[in-house]
Structure 1
Amino acid sequence: MTEFDSVVRSRCVVAPEGVGPRSVGIREGRIEAVDDYDAPMPAREVTDLGGIALLPGAVDLGTGVHEPGRDLAECYRSVGAAALRGGVTSVVAAPAPARPPVTCADSLQVHQRAAAGAGVDVYFLGGVTLGSGPLDLADLRAAGAVAFHGSLSDGGAPDLAALDDAQLRKAMAELATLDAVLFVHAEDVEELGTPPVSAEQRPPRAERRGMERVIAAARVTGARTHVTPFTAAECAALLAAAGSIGVGLTAQTCPHYLCLSAQTPGAEPIAHVCRPPLRSEANRKALWSALLAGDRSQITTVGSGHLPAHGLYTLEWSLSALWTAAARRGRGLAELARWTAGAPADLLGLAGKGRIAVGFDADLVGFDSTRRVPVPASDPGPYAGRELTGAVGPVWIGGHRITDVTAPRA
C-alpha cells in the first residue's frame, strides 16, 4: 500500500467536488490522493483536524509589499508572515509603489531575489508606465511577470503615472499578443480632486468614467482585463454589459469594502488611505449584491488590498473578515475558497494552485469557521478592536506544515 509523506483529515474539506469529510494524501509537496475521511492511508505524519475546515491556501492578487524605510527583503519577510497568519499561501505582488518599481526585467530580478525568504510563494505583476514599449513588456513577461498592472490615476503612485487612452490601448494591444492579463486601477484622473485625499474628492463617477475607458480599449484590443479594486456598486451594470459585448472584463474587490463603510464607527482612520475610499453603507450592501449575483457576477476575486506603503494593513485579517460577513449572508466555505483561491489562480493560470485536488500543490489552510477571533486594538489595520469569526491554522506550504505563523507584526 502506498505510504504518503503526510495525510491531513478533516470532516469539512473544501474540494472542487463539494464540501465534506475527506483525507488528503501528500507526497513530495503535492496532493497525490483525496479519499474518504476514514480511508486507510498510511503516512509518516497524520493530522486530523476533526471539525476544523481544510481550505486551499488563498492566492492574494496585487499585494503591496514595499514599506518606506525598510529593506526590501525585510518587507517580503514581513508580508510573508502576515500572509501565513491570514491563510494566504501565494502572494501576487503589486509592482508599485516599490523600490525599485517592477517596471523592467532588471528590477523584477531584484524583487525575485528579495522575495526568496518570504516563506510563501511569491509571483509578480509587471508595471505598465507611460514609457512601456512592446519590448519592455515582453521582457518582463519572459522574466517571470505573471500579469501586469496599470493605473488611470494614482493607483501606483508615485511609480506608475496615469495612462491616457492612447497609452492604455497600446499596452492592451501588446498584452493581448502576450496572452497576459492587465490589472487596472480604474479611477479616472480627470474626475479626481487635486490632491485626491477625501471621499468627496474621489466620487464613484471617477470609477465609472475609468471603467468606460477600460471597456472601450479592451473592446478594440481584445485584452483580458481585471479591474482592481472594484468599489462602486453602481458600476456593476457596466461589468455585466462588457461581458454581453464580448469584452473580457472582470473585477476584484476587497473585504474592507464589503465589511466597512464610511459610516462604520471607528473606520475614520483608514478612510483616507483606501484608494478608492470606503463608500456609503448603501454602496456596501449593493456591492455584496453584485458579488453574490451568481454566474452573472463579474466580480470574480476578493483580495486583501494590502498596501503598507499607504498605511493599509489588511493581509492578516482579510480571510476572517470576509468569512464573517459572508457567513452572515448564508454563504458557504466553497464560495470563500472560490473568491480567494480558485478564481485568482485560474485568472492568472497558476498551475497547481487554488484547489484541493490530485496533482495540485499541497498548500492547505486549517480554518475554524466558528471560532471568534478578537483583533487586538493595537493592530494597524482596519479591523483593530473588532471581533471576527474564523481562525486560521494550521497552514501547509508545499506539504510542509508551518509550525510558527506568529512572527511579529509589521
Structure 2
Amino acid sequence: MAEFDSVIRSRCVVTPEGSGPRAVGIRDGRIEAVAGYDTAMPARTVTDLGDTALLPGGVDVGTGVHRPGEDLAESYRAVGRAALRGGVTSVVASAAPARPAVDRVGALGAHRRAAAGTAVSVSFLGGVGADSGSLDLTDLLTAGVAALQCSLSDGGEPDLSALDDSALRKTMAELAAVDAVLLVHAEDSGELCSPPVGTGRPPRAERRGLERVLAAARMAGARTHVHPFTAAECAALLAAAGAVGVELTAQTCPHYLCLPAESLVRTSPAHACRPPLRSDANRAALWSALLDPAGPAVTTVGSGHLPAHGLYTLEWSLSALWTAARRRRLGLEDVVRWTAQGPADLLGLSDKGRIGVGADADLVAFDSARPVAVPAGDPSPYAGRELAGAVGPVWIAGHRVRPE
C-alpha cells in the first residue's frame, strides 16, 4: 500500500454509517481510506486521538460575516478564526447584512477576494431583494453561489429589501427551473410590531410567513429552506408541506434549542436575535420537531452567527448543541447530521460534511466529555455558562491547524 500523507485514529469516528473505532487515511487533502482502528496504514504522520471523537467539520449555513466598521477581509478572517474554535470547517456566508450585499456578481467577486485569506472553506449565498431581476439571479447561480437567500421582512436589512408575494413566486419559479435552493427568512413584515424586538416579533409572524412561503412553493415547486425557524407551533405547517408535494424544510439554531427567553438577563446579546428567543415550552417543542420520528422538517442546525446585529455564536454553537443533545441521551451522530451532513446535502456540497472515501479531509477532534467554561465577558449569548465538549485539533484539507 502506498504511504498516506497522514492517518488519524480514534475510538469514536463518526461516519454516515455510524460511529466506532476507525482509522482515517488522508492523501492530497482528501480522505482515501476509512478502515478499522488497528489496521496497518503507513503514513508520514499518525495521530491517535484515543477516546476523543473525530467528526467531520461543520458546515454552517447562513453565517453572518460583515462586522460594522471593519474591513471586509478582516471580517472574513475573524469568522474563520471563530469557525475553527467552534469546529466549523466550511461557512456558507449570508448574503446580507453585508457591505456590499451579495446580490450582484460584482459584489460576489468582492466577497470572494476578501475571503481569500480565510482559514476555512467559504461558500456564498446570493441575495434576492425587491429590485433583483431574472438576469441577476441567473448570473449569481452561474457564478457559483451555493443557494439564494431572501427575506419576507427585515432579515436582510439594511442591505437587502423584503420580497412581496409576487416577487417571491417569481423567484421560486426561476429557481425551480434550475433545481436551486431558496433560503427564506420567513417572518412576515405585516405581523411585526414597532419596535420589532422581543414581543414585537410574535410567533404569528413566522406562521403568516410560512403560509406565504408554502403558498408560493405550491405554485412554483421550488426547493425551499426556512431559516431560522423558531416557533414550534408552526412545526405542523412545515410537516404538512410534504403532503402537498412541497419540498419545504427548515434550519434552527443552538441558542433557540438551549436558551429559553426566561433565562436571559437584560443585557444578553441574545435579545438581538431575529426571530427572538422564545419560551421554555417552545424550546421543548422545538426539540420535538427536530426529533420527529415521522421525518423531521427541521433538518439542519446553524450557528446564527450575525455580527452585524451583535450576535457572536459561531465559536460556541457545537458545544452548546452537544450540551443540550447529551441531556436528551442523543449521540454525536445526531449532532453531525444536523450541523455537517445535513447542510452539505441541502446545498449539494458533496465533498463536505462527512467522513468517507473521496470527501475533503476537513475534520475535527471533539472531546465530548470535557467541560468548557464560557468567559463571563464573552460577547456570545452563552457568556458565563459551562458547556460540554471541547474542540481540539482541526484538519483543513488534511492539514492540521490549531484554533487560535
Q: How high is the TM-score relative to the length of structure 1?
A: 0.97
Describe how 1:92-107 pairs up with structure 2 within 5 A: 92-107=92-107
Q: Secondary structure at the match of 2:262?
A: coil
SS at match of 1:296: coil
* Native 8 Å contact 1:260 1:267 kept in 2: no
Contact 2:192 2:200 in 1 (8 A): yes
Q: Distance in 1 between matches of 2:264 and 2:229?
A: 23
* 3-state secondary structure, aligned to 2:7: strand
Which position in structure 2 is the counterpart of 1:78?
78
Shift of 1:17: 1.5
Distance (whole Å) between structure 1 residues aligned to residue 378 and residue 195 of structure 2: 28
Alignment of 1:6-405 (within 5 A): 6-197=6-197, 199-266=198-265, 269-402=268-401, 404-405=402-403
Structure 1 contact 175–181 (Cα < 8 Å) conserved: yes
For residues 158-213 of structure 1, what are the alpha-carbon distances to aligned partners after superposition, in whole Å with 9 as ceiling and x for unaligned?
1111111001001111111122100000000000012312x211100000000000
Change (3 A) 1:216 1:241: same
Q: CA deviation at 1:134?
A: 1.2
Aligned mates of 1:144, 1:73 — CA distance in 2: 20
Q: Which amino acid aligns with 1:325?
A: A
- The offset of 1:272, in angstroms, is 2.8
Moved more, 48-57 or 174-183: 174-183
Write the deviation string for residues 101-130 of structure 1: whole angstroms up to 9, x where unpaired.
000000000000100111100000000011
Q: Alpha-carbon deviation of 1:268?
A: 5.1
Give 1:203's aligned amino acid.
P
Code of the residue aligned with 1:301 in structure 2: it is T
- Alpha-carbon contact 2:94-2:125 (below 8 Å) kept: yes
Amino acid at match of 2:48: D
Task: Output the amino acid matched with 2:311.
Answer: L
- Contact persistence 2:351–2:358 (CA under 8 A): yes
Contact 1:261 1:267 in 2 (8 A): no
Any idea what SS the aligned residue of 2:233 has?
A: helix
Runs of 5+ consecutive residues of structure 1 not aligned to the other structure: none
Kindly state the Cα deviation for residue 217 of structure 1 after the two structures are TM-superposed. 0.2
CA offsets per residue over residues 333-372 of structure 1, 9 Å max, x none?
Answer: 1011000000000000012111100000000000000000
Cα distance in 2 between the residues matched to 1:266 and 1:218? 39
What letter corresponds to residue 109 of structure 1 in structure 2? G
In structure 2, C-alpha distance between the alignment counterparts of 1:268 and 1:285, rounded to whole Å: 24
Mapped partners of 2:251, 2:354: distance in 1: 19
Number of residue pairs matched by the alignment: 404
Q: Shift of the alpha carbon at 1:265?
A: 4.4
Q: Does 1:5 align with 2:5?
A: yes
| Alpha-carbon RMSD | 0.9
Whole-angstrom CA distance in 2 between matches of 1:267 and 1:332: 33
1:300-338 Cα offsets, whole Å, 9 max, x none, are 000000000000000000000000000000000101100
State the one-letter code of the partner of 1:112.
R
> Secondary structure, in 3 states, of the residue corresponding to 1:89?
strand
8 Å contact 1:30–1:399 — kept in the other structure? Answer: yes
Give the deviation of 1:267 after TM superposition.
6.8
Q: 1:245 to 1:74 in 2, by over 3 A?
A: same
TM (norm. structure 2) is: 0.99
Distance 1:147 1:295 in 2: 27
Contact between 1:152 and 1:163, CA under 8 Å: does it hold in 2?
yes
- For the residue of structure 2 that corresponds to 1:272, the secondary structure is helix
Equivalent residue letter for 1:143: A
- How far apart in 1 are the matches of 2:182 and 2:202? 24
Deviates more, 1:384-393 or 1:265-274: 265-274
* In 2: Cα distance, 1:277 partner to 1:201 partner: 9
Asked if 1 retains the 8 angstrom alpha-carbon contact of 2:176 and 2:220, the reply is: yes
2:95·2:101 contact (CA, 8 Å) conserved in 1? yes
What residue identity is the alignment partner of 1:29?
A: G
Match of 1:320, SS state, is helix
The answer on whether the counterparts of 2:362 and 2:396 sit within 8 Å (CA) in structure 1 is yes
Q: Which amino acid aligns with 1:89?
A: T
Rounded Cα–Cα distance in structure 2 between residues aligned with 1:397 and 1:222: 37
Aligned-residue identity in percent: 72
Post-superposition offset of 1:244: 1.1
Change (3 A) 1:295 1:342: farther
Displacement of 1:266 after TM fit?
3.3
Does the 8 Å CA contact 2:269/2:379 hold for their aligned counterparts?
no
Q: Name the amino acid aligned to 1:277.
A: P
Answer whether contact 1:132 1:171 (CA < 8 A) is retained.
no
> d(CA) in 1 for partners of 2:332 and 2:265?
28
Runs of 4+ aligned structure 1 residues displaced above 2 Å come to 265-268
Aligned mates of 2:275, 2:69 — CA distance in 1: 25
* Contact kept? 2:270, 2:311, Cα under 8 Å: no
